[in-house]
């Protein structure tokens, strides 16, 4: 995926086309100089989290398993299976741990990633 700058919006970076993302699978991208994991769910919602797994201390969160836990979309770390809320980055298994979550919007079929969300 080749990052491109969205016209007129320096805080948003165009990353890829929505159709380039597989449903219920993660993909990695370098956005705003940060390694991110992008996830597309069955309803075409896209989430962006920091790709670093704080438990395994590796950059492989994008390889995790995507699912729902009590109605919360999450990704399970591939190493230790800790669940991270795709909306907020908060760990579902340890409330003291979180990964960065970023704003995402789809414009004309292109996925744009913006600023880090407050946790």
Q: Residue ranges per domain, the chain? A: 4-116
CATH class name, domain 4-116:
mainly beta
| Residues of the chain scoring pLDDT < 70 | 1-10, 119
Rounded to whole angstroms, how far apart are CA atoms 80 and 3? 30
Residue count of the chain, please give it. 119
- Beta-strand runs (E) in 1-119: 4-5, 13-17, 26-31, 34-40, 46-50, 52-53, 58-59, 65-69, 72-76, 83-85, 101-107, 110-116
């Amino acid at each position: 995926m080749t990052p491109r700058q969205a016209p007129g919006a320096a805080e948003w970076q165009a990353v890829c086309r929505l159709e380039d993302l597989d449903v219920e699978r993660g993909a990695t991208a370098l956005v705003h100089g940060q390694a991110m994991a992008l996830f597309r769910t069955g309803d075409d919602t896209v989430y962006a989290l920091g790709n670093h797994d704080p438990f395994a201390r590796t950059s492989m969160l994008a390889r995790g398993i995507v699912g729902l836990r009590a109605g919360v979309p999450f990704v399970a770390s591939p190493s230790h299976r800790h669940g991270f809320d795709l909306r907020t980055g908060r760990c579902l298994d340890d409330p003291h741990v979180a990964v960065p979550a970023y704003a995402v919007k789809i414009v004309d079929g292109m996925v744009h990633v913006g600023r880090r969300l407050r946790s």
